[in-house]
Chains A and B, each alone.
Chain A
Amino acid sequence: METAKRLEWNAEITAVREDRDQEAFARLFSHFAPRVKAFLMKSGSSPEFAEECTQEVMATIWRKAHMFDGSKASVSTWIFTIARNRKIDMIRKQRRPEPEDLPWGPEEEPSQTDALIIEEETERLGKAIAELPEKQRKLIERAYFGELSHSEIAEETGLPLGTIKSRIRLALERLRHSMS
């Protein structure tokens, strides 16, 4: 996936948020819905459950478009967290415990540059994961597809997290600074 494509998804979410743009939403749908469903099925969901959950995930994207912040997460990361939470909520029939929101304070205009950097870093992370030794990559996949419990995940995951660290930490530091 190229960064240009990723920025289109950002723009499509903005179009959904600002203009309730159904065509932009249809483009997001055609890219992400089959991936969300595949991810759910790979994680052990039945095709029926995965379909129902995918529809709810996509509907959530529409309804929560105003909560997407491209300067804090990439589009694919955001959609992943919605899919994960929706699946758990449907199984437990209760909302998954999530960390409380940070008081991000006087909201700066979400910066296009931040969104670009976040998407570039996500791109780099994906490449770095793809280049991991087969054995290690399989381990990470199994962890995310629910085939490993937390105690079976090795402490040293060896993930190339350095590729994405900087932005998120920077944002938190900025927050601390603005609050002190």
Chain B
Amino acid sequence: MSRAGPGPEDRHAQNHGTDSGGTATGCAEAVVTPPRPAGRALAALAGLRAPVVWVLLAIAFFTSISGKPVDGVLMLIVAVGLAWDAGRRALRHPETAAATARTARLTGRRRRFAVIALLAGAVVYAVVVGSFSRYSWPATAGIIGLGTVAVLIGWHGPVRARPDGGRLPVAGTLAWLAVLVAGCLWELSALLQQPSLTTDSHAHPTISTLTDPLLATSPGRSVALLAWVAFGWYLVER
């Protein structure tokens, strides 16, 4: 099972809340004796202990000052929601706070039909949203709509159970982190060497600048959107 229990961050927050709330351990109820106000406040702040929340807050800040206030506000909403949710769940017991995998699976023809319908929907979505100009309100609505659906699905837990897989090899994981962090820093250095955060540079192009020619055309946008939707589908299935 991929989600037999809460992950490390959740466990951490839950333990913190349980301790601060003064609740007894080993109780089988979902919500136990209400904690004192101080304990409740500490439990709510437990949500801020999740690194993801701080990463999202940083993205919200930098996106906003880069001239994309809509992105910034959306990131801020998710960061606050995630912190609140983690804090709220910190008041519960780990057994009941754990999100469980929705293991109901479609089989045979129904599954094939569902996959075909989803594929057709993805293609139609990519063609329709790709036909709108970049940064237009219709395109923005399309992206926000699908993004919200995917995040809400993820919020409720994995769509299907997966084997745990155990611990990842440390050296290999560090190698991945090194490559990914190096890529992010390279992009950031290009961004900071632009004349300004909102002015492109030919000498130091960001990935956005390099993809501009592709995304300038409707077919190019549709192909890129199809790839984005496919990757989102892959993530939701994790």
User: Bound pair: A and B?
Assistant: no
Binding site for B on A (CB under 8 A): none
Binding site for A on B (CB under 8 A): none
